[in-house]
């Protein structure tokens, strides 16, 4: 198999590794977060959703060549766009909840 776009595969490797480190970091600090259990659970699942959807989007991008910069074009391009956007939209409230919980624990 010939790899046509090496940069996309590098993006997948680096991005996937970074998301793994993010999940490990959250696992290390989650016991310090002072939030009701439902908010803590929501925050963690939002970040997990982001990590997996963006990694899947990068995998589809690397294997298909579809960039996913906008919701147009092929179904694959739309899927990549949707995965990136839906993950990013949930990441920010998840991180916000974690920060609020850490600040209230002070």
Residue 5 phi, psi dihedral angles, 5° rounding: -125, 90
- 64 by Cβ neighbours in 10 Å (0-12 / 13-18 / 19+) ranks as middle
Average pLDDT value for residue range 27-54: 97
* pLDDT tens string 2-33: 566 889 999 999 999 999 999 999 999 999 99
Residue 105 makes CB contacts below 8 A (sequence gap 6+) with 32, 33, 34
Distance CA 49, CA 45 (A): 6
Over the chain, what is the mean pLDDT? 94
The confidence score (pLDDT) of residue 45 equals 98
The confidence score (pLDDT) of residue 5 equals 84
38: pLDDT confidence band, cut at 50, 70 and 90? very high
């Amino acid at each position: 198999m010939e790899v046509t776009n090496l940069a996309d595969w590098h993006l997948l490797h680096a991005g996937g590794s970074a998301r793994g480190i993010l999940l490990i970091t959250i696992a290390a600090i989650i016991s310090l977060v002072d939030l009701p259990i439902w908010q803590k659970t929501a925050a963690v699942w939002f970040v997990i959703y982001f990590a997996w959807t963006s990694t899947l989007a990068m995998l589809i991008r690397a294997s298909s060549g579809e960039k996913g910069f906008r919701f147009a074009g092929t179904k694959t391009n739309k899927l990549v766009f949707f995965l990136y956007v839906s993950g990013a939209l949930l990441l920010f409230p998840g991180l916000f909840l974690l920060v609020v919980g850490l600040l209230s624990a002070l």
